[in-house]
Amino acid sequence: MRSYLQEQGLDAFIVTAPVNWAYLTGFTGSSGLLLLSREEAVLLTDARYVEQAKEEAPGVEVRRSGREPVQDLAGVLRSWGAQEVGFEADHLTVQRFRAWERELPEVRWREVSGTVEGLRAVKEEGELALIRQAIAIAEGALREVFALIADGRRESELALELEFSLRRRGAAAPAFDTIVASGPRGALPHGVASQRRLRKGELVTIDCGALYRGYASDLTRTFALGEVDARQREVYELVRLAQQEGIRAVRPGRVAREVDAAARRVIEESGLGEYFGHGLGHGVGREVHERPVVGPSSEEVLRPGMVITVEPGIYIPEWGGVRIEDMVLVTENGCEVLTSFTRELLLL
């Protein structure tokens, strides 16, 4: 970030997104401001978090913010003599920014978007270790709940058991609202678990993830409850083939939309392209959806250290759907699939 300030001619930068100050400093509190200059870092937070911030953010000066946080902000920037100040345009309200303008009329403000997110897109070894553990927790929980999938069970019951298992295995929380979508509800890509009961002869899609020490995992599998018909197996195998082609296309230097196209082509050539309505994947790290975006219009270039999902799906209204999702690490020479749960269609 300091190199960025130097390159852009900024005297200071203000981080307002909690996920971004957590990435840069380790501080996990929900209230604060991180101020960066080319030499210094000051974390302003209220009385609830001062001691926590000192413990979590070594090397950062922690100051207690009073009842007028804008004055505390102004005091730091004036002590630095900051004239050109960048801020996170994606994470600041107009009301808050206007207060800064009134308090600091001498400052030239510069809108900045996606800078910290760009740094977060490439994971360091320590981050990868936490992501691998988050994946292990999610896969273990899914294997445990797999045995509970049965005719008559409610989607919500499976989701609850899955979330209990995630926490028992060390997750701080589910990484997102667990999706359990059975039968025709499988046509909902984000079909959060409902009170619907599972029935034999249906497909069941489960999308789950763990949050472990600030890092997320994201895993989807579609199962069959009882025997499947030819149409169900055909759609499943089509999605599996599309995912295989998508994973095969992941390598450094590849533009993300090209990876999306490799998987999408398989589904489009089958005549079912209209039923694959979302991007192929997304980055995963401190947030379950972060950069890079892997979609039809994404111009982001894949780099070693990026962790993305590859998750093609087919969603047919009133029939149901299939999605298979794995997490993939971009390596120096290609990619590594981080998730290990079988991609074969499991019959329960």
State the average pLDDT for the chain.
95
pLDDT tens sequence across 149-178: 999 999 999 999 999 999 999 999 999 999
The domain 122-337: what is its CATH number? 3.90.230.10
User: What number is the average pLDDT over the span 24-35?
Assistant: 95
Q: Which residues pair with 221 in a beta bridge?
A: 206
Is 90 exceeded by the pLDDT of residue 68?
A: no
Dihedral Cα 130, 133, 137, 138, nearest 10 deg: 70
What CA dihedral angle connects 289, 291, 292 and 296, to 10 degrees? 60
Q: So what's the pLDDT on residue 334? A: 96
Contacts of 15 (CB under 8 A, 6+ apart): 21, 24, 33, 34, 35, 36, 88, 116
Using pLDDT thresholds of 50, 70 and 90, give the confidence band for residue 134. very high
Which pLDDT score, from 0 to 100, does residue 20 have?
A: 97
% of the chain exceeding 70 in pLDDT: 100
Residue-level pLDDT at 69: 84
Superfamily assignment of 2-120 in CATH? Creatinase/prolidase N-terminal domain (3.40.350.10)
Would you give the end-to-end CA distance of the chain in angstroms? Answer: 51
Task: Assess whether pLDDT exceeds 80 at residue 32.
Answer: yes
Rounded Cα distance between 82 and 57, Å, is: 23
Quick: pLDDT tens for 167-215: 999 999 999 999 999 999 999 999 899 999 999 999 999 999 999 999 9
Question: Residue 147's pLDDT is what?
Answer: 86
Residues 339, 291: contact at Cβ < 8 Å? no
Whole-angstrom distance, CA of residue 309 vs CA of residue 256: 12
Boundaries of every domain in the chain: 2-120, 122-337
Please tell me the predicted confidence (pLDDT) of residue 347: 83
The 10s digit of each residue's pLDDT in 72-111 is 999 999 999 999 999 999 999 999 999 999 999 999 999 9
Looking at residue 312, its pLDDT comes to: 98
The per-residue pLDDT for 133 is 98
pLDDT of res. 346:
85
Q: Residue 66: its pLDDT value, please?
A: 77
- Measured distance CA(174)–CA(168) in Å, rounded: 11
Reported for 262-268, long-range contacts at CB under 8 A and 24+ positions apart, including other chains, are: 263/310, 263/312, 264/296, 264/312, 266/238, 266/241, 266/242, 266/312, 267/238, 267/239, 267/242, 267/312, 267/314
